[in-house]
Structures are given as structure tokens and as C-alpha cells.
Amino acid sequence: MDQETLAQASTSNETIAAQEAASSAQEAQASSAAEAQSAQSQQAVDAPAWTPDYKFKVMDEEKEVDEWLRPAITDQEKQAKIKELYEKACGLDHVKAKREQLEKEYNDYKGQTAPVLDNLKQVGSYLKNKDLGSFFNTFKLTDEDILQYSIKRLEYLEADPAKRQLMEAQEQEKTRLSQTALENEQLREWKKQQETNAFVNEFQATLSKPDYSSISQQFDARAGTQGAFRNAVIMHGQTLSRQEGRTVPVEEVVQNLVKTYGLSQMASPPSTEQQAATGSSDSSQRKETLPKIKSTGSSPVQSKVKSIADLKKLQQQVYDTGR
């Protein structure tokens, strides 16, 4: 074989070897990709399924995302964004309600103070124009009041310096006592308002508890009056406070009322169908039993309360017995 033939054969062999090497590399790469894909699939199978959480809180109140938007929550990131939007929206509702309340309070305050400010402006105009007659009439000062003041003023003008100083000190003391009395009255009104607000909050918070809320609904249904249980709590609280000589907390009043009159055992009234079924069952399955004899020495508070009249009657009996 000549050299050209040998060169062609060598080149052909090199080409075949290169193709085989490339093919082997492709097979290895495909095998690695298949193994990686298999590992990812296995991880996806082993990993627990992600469950969306539709609940969120605004002002300590738990809420949930609307049903129509829940399909959009497909991962953690979208869940966080949607919850953030809901929290902002619900927070704005709370701020809006608070703003409306403040606006109403401001309008009420403005309606109360506007007439006073107008009267002060009118009185100022009387003094500015030296219209003392209208000024005196505004404050309903009689001629006798005006004359008595005039006499005292003349005594002051005619007095010597020592007596003037004494009279000024007396007037200053009267002014100080008047201001102190006004401040004390304002303080009493403020404390009374604070106590009223605290009582209302405590009262509403106590009656809204699940245990008492169900009892309240059943009591109102039996009494046929909305708010009957609330009124019963107030009456019972007054009785307890009078007996014990102290202000009894609302929680203690409700607990005492429930325990004393057995309100925790109240059940919803049966329907007409249930009453008919019970009546037929009792007539067919009635058994001979000894009659129950009521003890005359039992406490009157053990009777079941079925109406407001029953509650008032038992309350009076408890008060009369000094319990």
C-alpha cells in the first residue's frame, strides 16, 4: 500500500474513534440527565404536599380569604401576597369605622359647643358696646344683685390700703375655692365616665363568651324577649351588691346567676314533631313508677327558671332569706 492509502486509512480510523468517543459522551450525558430527573422526581414524591392556609388576623380578629380567590393561592409566595392585601383592606375597614365614629363624636361635640361659643361672642359684644343692661339680663342678674355688688365695690374704693388688701385676699380665696370645686366636679364626671366605659366593656366581653352566649340565647328564647338575660344579670348584680356591700364583678355575677338558678342545664324547647313523638312514645312505653315527693325544706333557688316572672320571684325569695 502506498503512503496516500495509509494516510487515508489512518484518517478514517481517527474519525471512527472520534465518533465513538462522542457517542459515548452523549450516552453518559443522557444517563446523567436521566438520573438527575429521577432523583428530582423521587424528591417530589418524598416531599410532603403543600397545603394553603386561608386564615389571617386583623385587629386580633380571625378572618378567611374569600372562596373565589382561593384557587389563585398555588404557592407560599402568592399566599403571602394575597394575605397581605386582605390584611390591608380589612385594616382600612377598621380605620374607616373608627374615623366615622370620631367624626360623629366631633359633630356631636360641635353641636353642643357651638351655641355656647355664639353666646360668648354675644356677651363680648355687650361689654364692648357698654351695653350693661343686656349683659346683666343675659346672666339673669337682678337689680338687688347689682346694687349689692355696687355697695361692696364702693366699700373697697373707700377703704384704706390694709382693708383693701384684706378684701382682695378674700375675693382671691373665693375664686380659688370656686375653681377647685369646678375641677373636682370635672374629675368626678371623668371618673364616672371611665367607670361606666369599663363596666360596659366588661359586661359585653363577659356576655359574649361562648359559654354564656349560648345560655343567653336560650334564656331570651324562653322569655320571648331580646335582652332578657342581660336584664336578669343586671338585676342579679344589684341584688348581690346590695347583700354583700360591694361592687361585684360582672363575671362573678354571671357565674352566680347561672349556678344559683341552674341555667347551665337549660335545653332548647322541643319542636312540635318531637313533642308528638315523645307523647306517643310515653303513652306506649309508660312504666309504673313511684311518684316523686318534693321536699318542703329545699331551697327555692333549685327550681328551674322558665320566664322573667320566675326569675323575679326567685330573686325576691333569695333576697328575703338573706342569702
Tell me the pLDDT tens digit for each residue of 159-189. 999 999 999 999 999 999 999 999 999 999 9
As beta bridge partners, residue 61 has 58
How far apart are the C-alpha atoms of 121 and 116, rounded to whole Å? 9
Averaged over 238-257, what is the pLDDT? 89
What is the pLDDT, as a whole number, of residue 198? Answer: 86
The whole-number pLDDT of residue 161 equals 94
Distance CA 186, CA 15 (A): 107
Say how far apart CA 155 and CA 168 lie, in whole Å: 12
What are the pLDDT digits (tens) for 267-323? 444 444 444 444 544 544 444 444 444 444 444 444 555 555 665 666 566 556 554
Residue 7's pLDDT is 53
pLDDT band (50, 70, 90) for residue 212: confident
Using the CB atoms, write b or e for 288-312: b if 16+ within 10 Å: eeeeeeeeeeeeebeeebeebeebe
- Does the pLDDT at position 84 exceed 60? yes
Residue 202: CB atoms within 10 A of its CB come to 13
Give the confidence band of 38 by pLDDT, cuts at 50, 70, 90.
low
Q: For residue 5, is pLDDT > 50?
A: yes
- Give the range among 39-53, 67-81, 225-239, 303-317 with minimum mean pLDDT: 303-317
Instruction: Give the whole-angstrom CA distance, residue 131 versus residue 123.
Output: 9
Give me the chain's average pLDDT, please: 77
pLDDT value at position 268? 46
Contact (Cβ atoms closer than 8 angstroms) between residue 305 and residue 215: no
CA distance linking residue 9 with residue 15, whole number of Å: 10
Does position 74 have pLDDT exceeding 70, yes or no?
Answer: yes
Where residue 210 falls among pLDDT bands split at 50, 70, 90? confident
Inform me whether the pLDDT recorded for 254 exceeds 50: yes
pLDDT reading at 111 higher than 50: yes
Q: Which of 73-82, 88-97, 224-233, 268-277 has the lowest mean pLDDT?
A: 268-277
Q: Give the chain as a 3 state SS string.
A: CCHHHHHHHHHHHHHHHHHHHHHHHHHHHHHHHHHHHHHHHHHHHHCCCCCCCCEEEECCEEEECCHHHHHHCCCHHHHHHHHHHHHHHHHHHHHHHHHHHHHHHHHHHHHHHHHHHHHHHHHHHHHHCCCHHHHHHHCCCCHHHHHHHHHHHHHHHHCCHHHHHHHHHHHHHHHHHHHHHHHHHHHHHHHHHHHHHHHHHHHHHHHCCHHHHHHHHHHHHHHCCCCHHHHHHHHHHHHHHHHHCCCCCHHHHHHHHHHHHCHHHCCCCCCHHHHHHHHHHHHHHCCCCCCCCCCCCCCHHHCCCCCHHHHHHHHHHHHHHCC
Extract the C-alpha cell encoding 216: 343567653
139, pLDDT greater than 80: yes
pLDDT tier for residue 88 given thresholds of 50, 70 and 90? confident
Percent of the chain with pLDDT over 70: 67
Mention every residue, 6+ apart, whose C-beta is less than 8 A from residue 215.
229, 258, 263, 264, 266
* C-alpha cell belonging to residue 159: 377703704
| Extents of the domains making up the chain | 47-130, 156-205, 208-267+304-323
Q: What is the pLDDT of residue 292?
A: 44
**Given this model, what pLDDT does residue 267 score?**
46
Which residues lie across from 62 on neighbouring strands? 57
Asked if residue 215 has pLDDT above 80, the reply is yes
How large is the greatest C-alpha to C-alpha distance in the chain, in angstroms?
158
